[in-house]
Amino acid sequence: MDNFATSKRTNLDHLIGVEAFDPMEGDIRETADCERAMKGVNVVVHLAALGSVPRSIADPISSHAVNLGGFLNVLQAARTAGVQRFVFASSSSVYGDSTELPKREENIGKPLSPYAITKYGNEVYARLFHRLHGMRTIGLRFFNVFGERQDPEGPYAAAIPRFIKAFLAHSSPQIYGDGLQSRDFTYVANAVEAVQKAVVCADERAFGQVFNVAYGSRVTLLELVDALRNALVSIDPAVAGVKAEHAPERGGDIRDSLADITKARDVLGFGPKVDLQQGLDRAIPWYVANWG
């Protein structure tokens, strides 16, 4: 189910005609849509959200309505329908102002944005429904997921697609702050693996818990820009002369992010296989073909 507010229908073109694929257009803010989506379902993977920390700061009401109110609608509809397995997307933003590296699930700081508050609220609700109703909930704290089909347009686009699009247009990619902030960028195939592991996990320790989902390494934004430039030069030599420009820091951004994925390895059997460079090697050709 999707309302396509932050995605494109064309992203699903390759799935049209696949027997097991049955798309439904709907909105998680609508109780009736959530109830309709649960018919015949025994596992829910809930990834719907209004993403972006800056968006949530600019419009906290919408972020709350979608990310927290919508989450509760989906969770309650799943419980009423008798769904036992409920896998959902949380976010590394819940670590807030914690300076601990690497980030461990049991230690979080104070939230830095409305988005972070909504994602932590999701975790609290899921844990409560596990305790009250025995629902087998599993939360996945995704760290900076990137990959093909991630939209590079708009004011709230993620860093990697935004930087790639800028380079391809021979326009300076914009870095907020000094560029020394670090991120644990996670290729989408690793995120998919974590979802698949959570869907089939039989370990009782997993339920009512949250798990970091990342590769487990970090780079600064300056290092990321250099890696993208180097990768794109072989496709377009003019990219070599494109330099990044700096803008003021943004409120709500975490300074450094690096995940400890020990818990996910031990309990879910999660083992990410694609590092940042390998992920860029897979994603960049798609962006060149579609945005070059």
Report the sign of the C-alpha dihedral through residues 150, 1, 23, 85, in that order.
positive
156 assigned to active site: no
Contacts of 200 (CB under 8 A, 6+ apart): none
The single-letter DSSP state of residue 14 is: G
- Tokens, residue 211: 């798990």
- Closest alpha carbon to 142 in 90, 97, 101: 90
Catalytic residue chosen out of the listed positions 95, 115, 120, 215: 115
Q: Which of 185, 184, 193 is nearest to 264 (CA)?
A: 193
> What does the block give as tokens for 22?
């049955």
CA 40, CA 42: separation in Å to the nearest integer? 7
> What is the end-to-end Cα distance of the chain in Å, rounded?
30
Rounded to 5°, angle at Cα 160 from 156 and 171: 85
Q: Token pair 């906290």 is at which residue?
A: 60
**Alpha carbon distance 75, 285 (integer Å):** 38
36 Ramachandran zone, left/alpha/beta (phi>0; psi -120 to 50):
alpha
Q: How far from 161 is each of 11, 183, 186, 285, CA to CA, in Å? A: 15, 15, 13, 12
| Residues annotated as catalytic (active site), given as ranges | 115
